[in-house]
Structure formats: C-alpha cells, structure tokens
Amino acid sequence: MAEAADFQGTSPSPARRWLRRTASVIAGVPLLAGLLHVPSASPAQAAEKAAGARSVDVSLDTLTPAAPVEGDTLTISGTVTNEGKETISAAQVDVRVGSRLSSRGEIDAASKRTGFAPGNDGAALGGTYTAKIPKLAAGISEDFSIAVPVEKLSLDDDGVYQLGVSLSGRTPSNPYTQVLGIERTFLPWQPEATEKKTQVTYLWPLISSTHLSAETGSDDQQTPVFEDDALAAELAPGGRLEQLVALGAELPVTWVVDPDLLATVDAMTRNYQVKDGTERVTGKNQAVARQWLSALDKAVQGRKVIALPYADPDLASLAHRGKHVSGSLSHLQPATEVAETTVETILHVKPSVDFAWPVDGAIDPSIVDIATSAGADKVIARSDSVRDELPYTPNAARPIGGGTTAVVSDASLSTAFQGDMTGAGDSTLAVQQFLAHTLAVTQQQPSKLRSIVIAPQRMPTTAQAQSMASALRALSAQRWTQPSDLIAAAAAEPDDRATTQVPRARAYPAKLRKRELPVQAFHDMRTTQETLDNFKVILTAAYRVVTPFGNAINREMSTSWRGRSQPATTYRQGVLAHLKDLTTEVQLIEKSDLTLSGRSATIPVTVQNQLLQGVDHLVLRLTSTKPTRLKLNGDSPVAEQPVRIDGGHSQSVKFTASANANGPVPMTAQLYTEDGRPYGKPMNFTVKVSEITPTVMLVIAGGFLLLALAGIRMYTQRKRAAERETEAEADTETAPEASDDPEQPSDLTPDTGRQSADPSGQGEKVDR
C-alpha cells in the first residue's frame, strides 16, 4: 500500500487566509491591486502546490501488461481508501508518467520516495484517462480501473519510466482540489528485442523445515515416525510446496533441492506414524505425498537440479560455531554423498552437488573453507556480501582462489519478493520493480552480454512464489533477457573488473550471526554421535539405527532452525533421549547378594537384549574387588566372557570362582565393546564366601545319623534271621518228614535306595 501524498508546506494559516480575503476585497483599487498583485495560478498548478493531509491510501492492484509494447493498452486497476476524518468530494484518480530513470540507483531512490513531488511525478494525463469518484466518505474504499493506450503515455526512448496513480479531491477544510494520495510503480519500455540480452538464472528452491524424527516403528519395515503432520498441508493442492512445483514446472528455473525433503515425502507415501503427545497415530496423507512426488518428477525431467547437502546444513553456523566442537565438520561429506543418491533415487535425475549455499549468500573466508570442505567448488554468494564498486552489474561468476568460484547473485533482484505478497498491490509493485531492474541491467552496457543469478529466499511463501512466477512470465517475451541455468552461469566468463576478494570475517552481518546455531547445539550433536558410534558396534543390523539417527543429526544442523531456537533444542534433546532409550534395551539384570559354600563355585550374570535385532561384539567383565578372598577363572581378580544374544532374548554368562577365605566380596559386572569402551551402567552385587556353614553341618550330621540307624536296623534284622534259621535246623532233626504243602517264603524287607552323601551343588545361582 502506498502512503498518502506528502507535500511540502502546511495548511494555510489564519493570517494568510485573512490576507487573501483582504486582497480579494480591494482588488478593484488599481493602486493597491498593483501593489498586492500576485501572479495567478491555474487550477492544476494550485492542485499540485496546495498542501494536503495524508488522508488517502492508493493501492495499485493490477498493471497489465507488465511490460507493454506498441499497440498495447495499459490497464491499471486498484483501490483508494479514505483514511482521513473528512469526506472527499469531486475525487479523481489520475495516471502520471514521470521521467525516464537512467540507472538502478534511480529506481531504488524512486521506490523509497514518499509524498507527491510534481517535478518527479509528472502531470496527470487527464481527459478520458481518469476515474471519477464523486464522493469518498471517511473510512470508505472505492475500486477504480483506467485503460490507457500506450501511445498516450509519451514513452520515447527505451528504458524504465516512473508511473504514478494519484487521487485528487476536496475536503471541507480545504475546499480546493489537491492531490491527497499517490502510488508509484515502474513501467519498463523495451518494445523491440535488444541485440545483447542479459542471461538470467533464477533459482527455484524446494526446501522445508524438519518434520521427520529419528524414531521408527518396531516392525521390519521400520515405519517412520513424524514429529507432526504439517508437511501434508504444504504438499496438498494450494499448499506452498505444491504451488512451487506447479509454478516451477512452467518456468525456466534451476531447481535447488534439499534431499531431506524428498526423503521425508517419500516416507509419507508408505505407512507412517505421527506423534500425538505421548501417543502415535497413523498417518493418512499417502495420496497427497505420492501426487506431489509424481508432479515433481515430471517437472524436473530435462532440467538442471542442484542438490544441497542432506538437510541443508547451516554452513555459517558450522564455520563460526561448529568448528570449535570436534567432529562437527565430519558430517558434511556424508551429507553430500547421501544427497546425490537420494535425489537420483527418488527423482530419477542426476543432480549437481558442486554448489554450496550459505544463508543469504553472506560469506567470509571460514564459510568458504567449510562450504568447499565436502567437495563443492562453487559457492552461491550475494552482491550485498561480495560488493563490486562498478557502475554496472558484472557477471555473477568470479574466481575467489583455491579453485573455488563464487556465483554472486544480485541482491536487489534476489530480495525483490521477500515482503508480504498476499496483497495484490504489494505483489504488483514488486513485480514491476523487478522488471525495471532487469531492463536497467541490460541497458547499463547494451553491447556487452552479461549473466546474472537470482537466488531468492530459501522457503518462499505461496504468495511470494506466485509473485516470483508472475515476474518470470513477464520476461518470457525475451526482449531484454534470456533464461539460463546455474551451471552455465557458473561457467560464464568472469568480468575482469569484478571483485574476487572474499569479505573479511568482521564484515559478516551481525543480524545473521545472532541467528546462528549456538555452540551448545554442536556439543549436543557430538554427544549423540558418540552414543551412536558406541551403540552401532554391537548391533548385527546396525543400518536400522545408523541411518535414521545419522539423518537426524544432519537435520539438527539445518538452516531451517534459524530463528527457532527452542524447537531446535527440543528436537536435539528428543533425538538423544530416544537413542539412549534404545541403548538401555541391552543391559545387565540386577542381582541380589549370593552366598558361596565351599572352595569353588559358579557365578552367573544375566544379560538381557530387548532389541528386535541381535547384539554381538560385547564382552562381559566380572571383577572381584577382594581377590584374597575370591578369585575368578583360576587365579585372577578379573574374568571376561564374550556375549552374543539374539533379539528379544537373555543370556546367562557363568564365571568360575574359587574362595580362599570367608567373608563378603563386592563384585562388579560391566559390559564392554570389543574396542574396550564401557557399554551401559555397571552392576554391583556381593558374594558371601563361607567354607562350611552351620546349615551344612546339620545336613552332614543328619546324614551320618541316618546311616547309623540304618546300620543298626540291618544288624538287628540279620541277627533275628540267624536265630530263626538255627531254630529251624533244630526242629528239622526231630520233626517228621515234610508235608506236600508248598514252602512259605520269609517276608524280607526290600532294600532302600542308596542316598548320595555328596554335598549339594557348589554355590547357588541367583539372577535377581
């Protein structure tokens, strides 16, 4: 929206009004009339010079065609709003053509000018090229539309002209016609194609914030878990990302893609879950994701695609903060490698991974070093960082040393659509100013072919994307520009006069530095990586953990976290907490104290694996803190056993112990990886050593007593049997002959099973 007209001067003072009335009364007296004579002014001049309040807002909603040619009719429409307290009468909307602007600097100056300036704004076309509004009450808006044949605009030489739309009218306090509001824009006039057209490369970014967590389901497919389902709204018809694909498919742009976005959407095409508080719900937007990926796949075929490192890492934060934390820079190379394979797998095109894109194109030596450390040899910078003190716009590419090329995007054109583009007036003004700058670039050196790059904001809104598309469509006639791509722009011949000096670190914008990721963020990432490194070595299917958590660490250093410090912290903490929860699924089962009887025994320690996959390459170490009382595996205070457990199982690991003296012995069990790093928490318990306990004595005594009683009984039975045998023999000698009755056997007591006298098992096994 434009400001109301701002005039030099003030409303007429009471003294001046009295003077005018007096002059009018005595105007018939020749002498006084001669003395007080003031040159008369035309109504138009009076309207231009009169002082007025800031009372009317003029919105210029449409201007078509944006870049007219001979024979066209320029249609201007918009809205005027009375923001004052008085009703405006006899209002009229006029079109004004100002002078031709000879440079980009004049365009910028005109865009910042406020208030009505007759010398710059030009005279109203008048006649039939006006819109009459008889009455405009306070707070009321009225639409207008004016059609003007281009030949009536008096456009002479090719170039950029200032175009104004003003509202003039009267108010009760100022009953003469005056300009009460004006809006300015620009009209590029290049009816014939130029001989040397500026090569324009426009980057079209497909980047979003982080939506995918490090968590996965417990099934074989590892169902992905999303932090939220907000991405679906961006992918749905009319959403931000849907509009970027639909618009970009029809435009000559270079696609700049974050592979993490592609991987996230690809995960949405299958079964997925979404966090809902402490619960997980089933995702339902598979169709939306599939439709978006299909449209994107078609849009990029045969186009140039630039793949940023996975998750679009914040290069400036890494250079300024991350370099102070060991291991932080090691993520860039893997992020670049996975970026290439991700884009090629999902979009079926081979991307370029040679470009690095720091935030807002701001660079310094450390950023360039970090940007190129992962293999990129081209850095997308911006002209408000790499400044050229030249009267013209040089080619974007220039060597900055070390085999690195800086591709310097144009700052004015790159930031042209960063404002609020939801209003038609704001969008129209941005488009016209964009076109004006491109024509001005071409006319700076008409005989010299130049190549410029435009790198807009990373995540344009839907309205911003639509405005960008409108501007590019207006250039489609190719009268002064011609589309190019980023790879061609980077290979263009550098301008000899363009700077190749990388700005010093102190020149880096303070407002950007304040929004960088803090050093603590990189400490958190290192902790997560170290925990992951220690965990993966014991896993039999490490990829099920390494891939989701490695990608999550990349997301933790994403550029999208700028300005969102609390969500960034929450995400990092969530990733680490979940990883630690997984590591505790492999643990030692707590043991209660146990007692060993005798000189030797077996001590069992149980290891539990609640993961879905097996674990290996673990060592369980048991340590006796008092080897004078209890030694392990012969004659050592420390014993080790390898551990391998299938998923969902437990294993009891047994150690041989030998006792030398009675008393309690504190024991420590600890898991280690094969490279000697402790895994998990140690487990402590106590072994009580007792060679012969009172209980054992009672058992032994009872055994001897039972043996004695058994012996006595056997002796008594045998003695009685002998006596009966003697008596029978005596009776046989004196008795008659035996009868035919069958012999009756004696009733012998059966033998009792022999009971073992050996002591019971050596020691007792206690798992909990």
Q: Which tens digit of pLDDT belongs to each residue from 557-597?
A: 999 999 999 999 999 999 999 999 999 999 999 998 888 87
Do 465 and 597 fall into the same domain? no
Instruction: Give the Cα separation of 661 and 691 in Å (integer).
Output: 8
Take residue 603 and report the two structure tokens written for it: 């001590």
Summarize pLDDT for 319-371 with one digit per residue, the tens: 999 999 999 999 999 999 999 999 999 999 999 999 999 999 999 999 999 99
Do 59 and 127 fall into the same domain? yes
Q: What pLDDT was estimated at residue 53?
A: 45
Do 642 and 666 fall into the same domain? yes
Take residue 27 and report the two structure tokens written for it: 């105007």
Do 342 and 400 fall into the same domain? yes
Take residue 38 and report the two structure tokens written for it: 């003031």
Per DSSP (E only), the strands in 72-112 are: 73-82, 88-101
For residue 223, tell me if it sits in a domain. yes
Per DSSP (E only), the strands in 429-535 are: 451-454, 481-483
Residue 351: what are its φ and ψ, rounded to 5°? -85, 165
Q: What pLDDT was estimated at residue 704?
A: 56
- Computed from CA positions of residues 571, 576, 577, 581, in that sequence, does the dihedral angle turn out positive or negative? positive
Do 181 and 204 fall into the same domain? no
pLDDT score of 20 more than 60: no
Helix or strand or coil: residue 222?
coil
Q: Degrees (nearest 5) of the Cα angle 393, 395, 398?
A: 125
DSSP string of 17-56?
HHHHHHHHHGGGSHHHHHHT------HHHHHHHS---S-E
Q: What pLDDT was estimated at residue 764?
A: 32
Last residue of a domain, one of 189, 217, 245: 189
pLDDT band at 12 (very low <50, low <70, confident <90, very high): very low
For residue 701, tell me if it sits in a domain. no
Do 307 and 445 fall into the same domain? yes
Instruction: Give the Cα separation of 83 and 148 in Å (integer).
Output: 28
pLDDT score of 286 more than 70: yes
- Between residues 222 and 737, which one has the greater pLDDT? 222
Question: Quick one: DSSP state of residue 422?
Answer: -
Q: What is the CA radius of gyration of the chain?
A: 46
pLDDT score of 743 more than 80: no
pLDDT score of 767 more than 90: no
- Residue 221 one-letter amino acid: Q
pLDDT score of 734 more than 50: no
Instruction: Give the Cα separation of 600 and 143 in Å (integer).
Output: 101
Last residue of a domain, one of 513, 528, 549: 513
Instruction: Give the Cα separation of 4 and 83 in Å (integer).
Output: 9
Contact 76, 62 (CB under 8 A): yes
The DSSP bridge pattern shows strands 88-101 and 141-149 to be unpaired
- Computed from CA positions of residues 353, 354, 356, 361, in that sequence, does the dihedral angle turn out positive or negative? negative
Q: What pLDDT was estimated at residue 725?
A: 63
- Computed from CA positions of residues 746, 747, 753, 755, in that sequence, does the dihedral angle turn out positive or negative? negative
Do 105 and 251 fall into the same domain? no
For residue 760, tell me if it sits in a domain. no
CA torsion 307→300→263→373, rounded to 10°? -10
- Between residues 276 and 760, which one has the greater pLDDT? 276
Place of tokens 């057209």: 197
Average pLDDT over every residue of 19-33: 35
Instruction: Give the Cα separation of 179 and 196 in Å (integer).
Output: 42
**Nearest of 669, 546, 684 to residue 618 by alpha carbon:** 669
Last residue of a domain, one of 189, 221, 251: 189
Do 346 and 325 fall into the same domain? yes
Q: What pLDDT was estimated at residue 117?
A: 86
- Residue 537 one-letter amino acid: V
For residue 1, tell me if it sits in a domain. no
For residue 648, tell me if it sits in a domain. yes
The DSSP bridge pattern shows strands 405-409 and 397-399 to be antiparallel
Which residues 6+ apart lie within 8 Å of 58 measured at CB? 1, 2, 4, 78, 79, 80, 93, 165, 166, 167, 181, 182, 183
Give the C-alpha distances (Å, rounded to integers) separating 220 from 223, 224, 541.
8, 11, 11
- Contacts within 8 Å (CB) and 24+ apart, 242-246: 242/292, 242/295, 243/462, 243/465, 243/466, 244/204, 244/205, 244/206, 244/460, 244/465, 245/206, 245/292, 245/295, 245/296, 245/299, 246/295
Q: What pLDDT was estimated at residue 728?
A: 57
Summarize pLDDT for 361-375 with one digit per residue, the tens: 999 999 999 999 988
Summarize pLDDT for 606-664 with one digit per residue, the tens: 999 999 999 999 999 999 999 888 999 878 899 999 999 999 999 999 999 998 888 89
Domain with 424 in it: what CATH number?
Answer: 3.20.20
Do 149 and 290 fall into the same domain? no
For residue 561, tell me if it sits in a domain. no
Q: What pLDDT was estimated at residue 699?
A: 53
Summarize pLDDT for 668-691 with one digit per residue, the tens: 999 999 889 999 999 999 999 886
Do 359 and 294 fall into the same domain? yes
Domain with 638 in it: what CATH number?
Answer: 2.60.40.10
Q: What pLDDT was estimated at residue 219?
A: 85
* Domain span holding position 649: 586-690
Take residue 176 and report the two structure tokens written for it: 């003469």
Do 106 and 162 fall into the same domain? yes
Do 116 and 251 fall into the same domain? no
Considering its fold, how many domains does the chain have in total? Answer: 3
For residue 759, tell me if it sits in a domain. no
For residue 203, tell me if it sits in a domain. yes
Place of tokens 């539990």: 608
pLDDT score of 47 more than 70: no
Q: What pLDDT was estimated at residue 708?
A: 66
Average pLDDT over every residue of 739-743: 39
